[in-house]
Structure 1
Amino acid sequence: MIMSILTRNNVRLLGNQQADKTLVFAHGFGTDQTAWSEVAPAFFDDCRVVLFDYVGANEKTVPFFNPKKYRQLYSYADDILDIFEELDLKDVIFVGHSAGGMSGTLAALQEPTWFSRLVLLNASPCYVNEENYTGGFSTESLDDLFAQMESNFHAWASGFAPMVMANPDRPQFASAFAKTLSAMRPDVALAIAKVIFYSDHRSDITRLPHQTLLVQGKVDIAVPVDVSYYMEKHMPNAILTFINTEGHLPHISGAQEVIQAIRPFVN
C-alpha cells in the first residue's frame, strides 16, 4: 500500500527530516513537481519538504489516471490526504499553485486538523465569468481552447505556454512550460483541463478556517487580480499579498519574489 500511494504520486521527501515544520508543495495544471525547483530548496534547512505529482501530470503518473475517478478536484484532494496519511503528516503548511492550491483547500476542509495553514499562489475557485464575478474566461473561450487541444495538442501547447507564462524577454520559461505540458498525454490533459476550468468552489472557500496567504502576481492572463480580491473577501482568514511578477507561473519566472512573499508566513 505504501509503495502504491508514494509511487502513484511520485512522492519525494526532501529538506531537514528532523525539522518540526512540514511544507508540502503542490503544482498546477501543465507542470509537475519540478515547477518548484527554484522555490523549495529555500526551505530545506528549516523544514521537511514534500514534493509530489498529481496523477496524470506526466509519464510516471499517467498509468494511474482513471477518467471515472478524476472527474472533479475532490479526487485530487483525496490523493493529497492519502499522501498525508501514508507519511503520517500533521500540522502541514500547504503551498499550492493554481488548481493544485484549490485541491489542497478541499483537502483541508475534509481533514482540517492535518493542516496548520495554506499558501495559495495564483489560485482560483472559479475560472468562468459570471454575473458579478470575473473568473477570466467566457464559456466560448473555453470551448475554443478545448477544441484546439483536441485538434492538435502539441501545436496548442506551444502556443498556450508563452501566452500563460508571459515574460517574452525570457523565452526559456515558456519553453520549459511547453515541455511539461507536452509531456502530458493529450486525452488526459484535456480531461484534467475540463475538470479544472469548469470547477466552481466559491462556496467551499467560505468554509476554510485556516490562516491562508493568497499570493497573486500582478499580471496573470489565467487568474485576474479580481479573483484574488474575491477570495480575500470571502475566505474567513485570508491575507492577500501581491508580487511584482507577470504570468501565471511566478514560482518559475519569479522564484525569489515568491520565496520572499511566503517565508514570513511559513515562519
Structure 2
Amino acid sequence: MTIVTRNNVRLLGNQQADKTVVFAHGFGTDQTAWSAIAPAFYDDHKVVLFDYVGANEKTAPYFSQKKYKQLYSYADDILDILEELALKDVIFVGHSAGGMSGALAAIQEPTWFSKLILLNSSPCYVNQEGYVGGFSQETLEELFSQMEGNFHSWVGGFAPMIMANPDQPQFASAFAKTLSAMRPDVALSIAKVIFYSDHRNDIARLPHPTLLIQGQKDIAVPVHVSHFMEKTIPNGVLSFIDTEGHLPHISGADEVIKAIKPFLN
C-alpha cells in the first residue's frame, strides 16, 4: 500500500506551475465533489485531488477505527500526501471537516502551507454555553441512531436536508450517491469523530492567511460559527457567498470560484 493508493491521489492541472492547490472534500463526498471547481485552476496551478480514507470503496480497506478516531489522523494523512509528492507552500482548499483536518495539518507543519481556504468549515458542531455550533447532544444521538438503524434510509433524508436547493434535486441525488458509497459502519464512525470534535482552541494557533467562505444558509454550520472562526484565527478573513446548503462547491460552484480567485492572486 502506497500513500497515493491509500488516498486515491490524483495530480492534475499545470505540472510546470509554481503554485499548488490541494482540494480536500468533506464528509459524505469524495474528490468528485470538486469537479466543477478544480478545472478553474488548472491553467495556473498544479492541482492535487484525493479521497479521505473511508470515503468510498477504494479507500475503505485502509480504514481502521483504532487509527481514525480523531481529525488529527486525517491531518496526518494530508501531511503524508504532501511529503510523498514533495510539495511545499501549498494552497489548501478544504470543505467542512476536510477543511478542519487541513487546518490541523497546517498547525503541525506550518512551512508546508502558504494559504488556507476553509469552505463551510466548523471547529465544533455541538452547542455549548456561549457558542452556537448547530446541533444539540440529543439531535446528534438521534442522528447516529438513525444511521445505525437503517443507513440507506437515513441517507435519503439527510442528503436533501444538508444539500438544500430543493428546486435542483440533482444536487441532493449526487450527494446521496457518494454518501451511499460509504460503508455504513465506517460512515457512522467518521460521523461521530467529526460531530464530537472540538478544535476551537486549536484554530487560534493557525498562523496562515485563511479565507473563510461561508454560505448564507447552512443548516450544518450556523453563521455564528463563521464569525467565531474569523475572531479566533489570527489571519482569518470571512467572506459570505450567496448560496444555500452545506455543499456550495456542488450547488453554487461559480460563487465559490469567484470567492477563491482574488484571495489566491
TM exceeding 0.5 = yes
Cα deviation for residue 55 of structure 1 reads 0.0
Q: How big is each residue's C-alpha offset from its partner over 1:171-191, in whole Å with a ceiling of 9 and x where there is no partner?
A: 000000000000000000000
> SS state of the match for residue 205, structure 2?
coil
Aligned to 1:135: 133
Identical amino acids, percent of aligned pairs:
80
Aligned to 1:207: 205
Moved over 4 A (4+): none
Aligned to 1:242: 240
> SS state of the match for residue 230, structure 1?
helix
- 1:69 partnered with 2:67: yes
Cα deviation for residue 107 of structure 1 reads 0.2
Give the one of 160, 165, 168 matched to 1:167: 165
- 1:48 partnered with 2:49: no
Aligned to 1:224: 222
- 1:82 partnered with 2:85: no
Cα deviation for residue 266 of structure 1 reads 1.4
Partners of 2:8 and 2:223 in 1: CA distance: 32
Partners of 2:207 and 2:175 in 1: CA distance: 33
* Aligned residue type for 1:108: A
> SS state of the match for residue 132, structure 2?
coil
> SS state of the match for residue 116, structure 2?
strand
Partners of 1:4 and 1:67 in 2: CA distance: 20
* Aligned residue type for 1:201: H
> SS state of the match for residue 146, structure 1?
helix
Aligned to 1:181: 179
> SS state of the match for residue 107, structure 2?
helix
Give the one of 143, 146, 160 matched to 1:145: 143
Partners of 1:158 and 1:91 in 2: CA distance: 40
Aligned to 1:194: 192
Partners of 1:262 and 1:138 in 2: CA distance: 32
> SS state of the match for residue 89, structure 1?
coil
- 1:255 partnered with 2:256: no
Aligned to 2:116: 118
Partners of 2:262 and 2:200 in 1: CA distance: 27
Partners of 1:140 and 1:101 in 2: CA distance: 26
Aligned to 1:21: 19
RMSD between superposed Cα atoms in Å: 0.5
Cα deviation for residue 241 of structure 1 reads 0.3
> SS state of the match for residue 222, structure 1?
coil
Partners of 1:10 and 1:65 in 2: CA distance: 13
> SS state of the match for residue 16, structure 2?
coil
Partners of 1:72 and 1:79 in 2: CA distance: 12
Partners of 1:56 and 1:198 in 2: CA distance: 18
> SS state of the match for residue 123, structure 1?
coil
Partners of 2:132 and 2:209 in 1: CA distance: 24
Cα deviation for residue 134 of structure 1 reads 0.2
* Aligned residue type for 1:143: E
Cα deviation for residue 130 of structure 1 reads 0.5
> SS state of the match for residue 79, structure 2?
helix
* Aligned residue type for 2:117: V
- 1:154 partnered with 2:152: yes
Partners of 1:221 and 1:119 in 2: CA distance: 20
* Aligned residue type for 2:110: P
Q: Structure 1: 5+ residue runs without aligned partners?
A: none
Q: How many correspondences in the alignment?
A: 265
Q: Structure 2: 5+ residue runs without aligned partners?
A: none
